[in-house]
Amino acid sequence: MSETNLLEAKCVTMNFGGLTAVANLSFELKKGELVGLIGPNGAGKTTVFNMLTGVYSPSFGTIHLEDELISKLPPYRITQKGIARTFQNIRLFNQLSVTDNVRIAFHTRKLYPIYNSIFLTPNFFKQERAIADDTKALLSLLHLEERAEDKACNLSYGQMRRLEIARALATGPKVLLLDEPAAGMNPQETEELTALIALIREKFDLTILLIEHDMTLVMKLCERIMVLDYGIQIASGTPLEIRQNKRVIEAYLGEEV
Amino acid sequence: MAPLCLIKKEGVEMGLFIQQIVNGIALGSIYALIALGYTMVYGIIRLINFAHGDIYMLGAFVGYFALTTYKLPFGVSLALAMLIPALLGMLIERVAYRPLRKAPSIAVLITAIGVSLLIENLAMLWFSPDPRPFPQIFPLRPLELSGIRVSIPQVIVFITAVILMMALNFLVQKTKVGKAMRAVSQDKEAASLMGIDINRIISLTFALGSALAGAAGVMVGVIYPRIQPLMGVMPGLKAFVAAVLGGIGSIPGAMLGGLIMGLTESLVTALISSTWRDAIAFSLLIVILLVKPTGILGKSMREKV
């Protein structure tokens, strides 16, 4: 395995009963890359995310993060090892405040033993204060500081999307998986999001895998694009190559008769 | 559980009325402690843990043995009566409920009833079904406050309950475990993808709820000094009603529901008759389910698709 590969999936297959959602998929993410994962609806893109994060355990194949096998680990262990995600259909903790949504995710990396919170040791207060500070910084970076004490369910749509990103960042990821971050956004919001993704990538030294249907965003941001159709990778290459790829055009527009 | 015996007089005096409010608050804080366990477990895995009342009974017995057989001080006995039920609660969750995590909820509910019967019968086997006197550690001499008599055990029970509930509130609101619990109760999958070990959080929830029930077991021994293996059945059911009354899944709701149950029981005993006590307590459940099924502080819950 090459040194620069941060994440490597080898011959990954996911079967649900008789249905093969993803077949024999192999790819790698190099450190610092921003890769797009596109394909028509039902192509298996979200299934790939679910396998990478441990929600599904692949039927066949292996996934390695920094040369460590992760495809058999439960989701929380994989998150702790450095893969974070956002959801296509926003899944915030709706009844909790914006701050608490982020703080929950921070706790994965700032650990104090449980007896610290029972006996209220100085370490407990120190850690909690540090988390409070980091939460504030993260919220202001994502322009959510004014909504910090509001319940997550009262945010606007765009704010919810940003909070999902904030929450994922709080887990301290090496790899960030964004599942349709621009879904339902207007062109102006999409443009702001594009800038935001570029910013956090720089600031947090992230490797990003992005599912997106908005081609302007994908073409602008991604250095490399993978195309899935019916669970099979049909193309991979630079945005320019993908735009001209015949099989991709067929998959999106249907075969010419 | 019989409230402090009061001989019924012709007509009810104001003093007696206030006296019963005091009794009701002491009893209610015990119900509240038990109800918290029901509500926390329900909040996190949507299970009515019918074995919870028996955990409370075990707490009373642990306290009893710690105080009598081992002659430990009250504080240590109370701590043990919280610790051992906490471990038992975790064990029950691990062996009885966790294997059924993906089973239909009715299967888990029936299992809970089975666990309850198992604990009751084991307790009768081990401790014998005969009632035992709980040692009286606190003087029974009542404190007189402008005509109202408050017994020292009642004060101790009330203060302990308040301290425990404040501690629980702090834990749930301010610590990482508490925040993780709230996250898991809202969306398990999203929580696990934020790096939270769901099984550990569920285990801790059982431990916390069981510890509070264990404490309630000792508290009840302090006020009504008679314990026996089936003592958990009625208070278990009433605490369940209290949790539903306050809004199941809501922690402040369980505290409020417990107090309402305790007060209702005491006042019914004083104003009507003790034979009506349980009938009216359970009628409350029917009324609340008809009028506001989500309970007093409960939020309406949308079914997740």
One-character DSSP codes across B11-28: S--HHHHHHHHHHHHHHH
Residue B8 predicted with pLDDT over 80:
no
Per the prediction, chain B carries an average pLDDT of 89
CA distance A57 to chain B (A): 14
- Select from B171, B194, B204 the Cβ nearest to the Cβ of A104: B194
Alpha carbon distances (Å) from B243 to B215, B235, B246, B288: 17, 12, 5, 11
CA distance A109 to chain B (A): 9
Contact A76 B196 (CB under 8 A): yes
| Tens-place pLDDT, residues B218-230 | 999 998 889 999 9
Q: How far apart are CA B287 and CA A199, in angstroms?
A: 57
Which range, of A221-230, B6-15, B47-56, B234-243, averages the lowest pLDDT?
B6-15
Contact B196 A128 (CB under 8 A): no
Q: Which of residues 208-247 of A touch B (CB under 8 A)?
A: none
Residue A137 predicted with pLDDT over 90:
yes
Amino acid at position A234, single letter: I
Could you tell me the pLDDT band of residue A256, with boundaries at 50, 70 and 90?
A: low
Angle at the Cα of B48 from the Cα atoms of B96 and B61, rounded to 5 degrees:
70
Q: What is the mean pLDDT of residues B189-201?
A: 92
The DSSP symbol for B302 reads P
Q: Return the pLDDT at A216.
A: 87
Q: How far apart are CA B60 and CA B262, in angstroms?
A: 19
Contact B187 A128 (CB under 8 A): no
For residue B305, being part of any structural domain is answered with no
Cα within 13 Å of Cα(A77), Cβ side:
11
Question: Does residue A62 sit in helix, strand or coil?
Answer: strand
Sign of the CA dihedral A112, A77, B182, B168?
Answer: negative
**Residues across chain B:** 305
For residue B299, being part of any structural domain is answered with no
B195 neighbourhood in chain A, CB within 8 Å: 76, 79-80, 105, 107-109, 171
Alpha carbon distances (Å) from B32 to A127, B25, B50, B153: 32, 10, 16, 17
Could you tell me the pLDDT band of residue A115, with boundaries at 50, 70 and 90?
A: confident
Interface test with A, best of B98, B194, B250, B304 (most A CBs within 10 A): B194
Could you tell me the residue range of the domain that residue B194 belongs to? 21-129+160-291
Angle at the Cα of A119 from the Cα atoms of A113 and A121, rounded to 5 degrees:
70
The DSSP symbol for B134 reads P
Q: What is the mean pLDDT of residues B204-229?
A: 94
Note the helical H segments in A142-186: 157-170
Q: What is the mean pLDDT of residues A127-149?
A: 91
| Tens-place pLDDT, residues A84-101 | 999 988 999 998 999 999
Strand A60-65 relative to strand B142-145, pairing = unpaired
Q: Has the ipTM of the complex gone over 0.95? A: no
Residue B301 predicted with pLDDT over 70:
no
Residue B249 predicted with pLDDT over 70:
yes
| CA neighbor of B234 nearest in space, from B84, B54, B58 | B54
Q: Return the pLDDT at B192.
A: 92
pTM of the model: 0.85
For residue B193, being part of any structural domain is answered with yes
For residue B151, being part of any structural domain is answered with no
Could you tell me the pLDDT band of residue B11, with boundaries at 50, 70 and 90?
A: very low
Residue B284 predicted with pLDDT over 60:
yes
- Position with higher pLDDT, B137 vs B264: B264
Residue B166 predicted with pLDDT over 80:
yes
The DSSP symbol for A109 reads T
Inform me whether the C-beta atom of residue A71 falls under 8 Å from chain B C-beta atoms: no
Q: Return the pLDDT at A111.
A: 62
Q: Count the domains in chain B.
A: 1
Q: What is the mean pLDDT of residues A156-185?
A: 93
b/e string for A10-37 if b means 16 or more Cβ within 10 A? bebbbeeeeebbbbebebbbbeebbbbb
Q: How far apart are CA B210 and CA B213, in angstroms?
A: 5
Contact A117 B177 (CB under 8 A): yes
- Position with higher pLDDT, B267 vs B13: B267
Residue A3 predicted with pLDDT over 60:
no
Q: Bridge-partner residues for A236, per DSSP? A: A226
CATH of the domain at B281: 1.10.3470.10
Share above pLDDT 70 across residues of chain A, in percent, rounded to a whole number:
94
For residue B303, being part of any structural domain is answered with no
B176 neighbourhood in chain A, CB within 8 Å: 103-104, 107, 112, 117
Could you tell me the pLDDT band of residue B6, with boundaries at 50, 70 and 90?
A: very low
- Select from A53, A76, A107 the Cβ nearest to the Cβ of B179: A107
| Tens-place pLDDT, residues B74-95 | 999 999 999 999 999 999 999 9
Q: Return the pLDDT at B120.
A: 96
| Tens-place pLDDT, residues B108-145 | 999 999 999 999 999 999 999 999 999 988 887 777 77
Residue A1 predicted with pLDDT over 50:
no
Residue B259 predicted with pLDDT over 70:
yes
Q: Return the pLDDT at B33.
A: 96
For residue B4, being part of any structural domain is answered with no
| Tens-place pLDDT, residues A26-68 | 999 999 999 999 988 888 999 999 999 999 999 999 999 999 9
Q: Return the pLDDT at A204.
A: 94
Q: Return the pLDDT at B148.
A: 75
* Contact call for residues B100 and B162 (beta carbons, < 8 A): no
For residue B238, being part of any structural domain is answered with yes
Q: How far apart are CA A112 and CA B105, in angstroms?
A: 35
For residue B81, being part of any structural domain is answered with yes
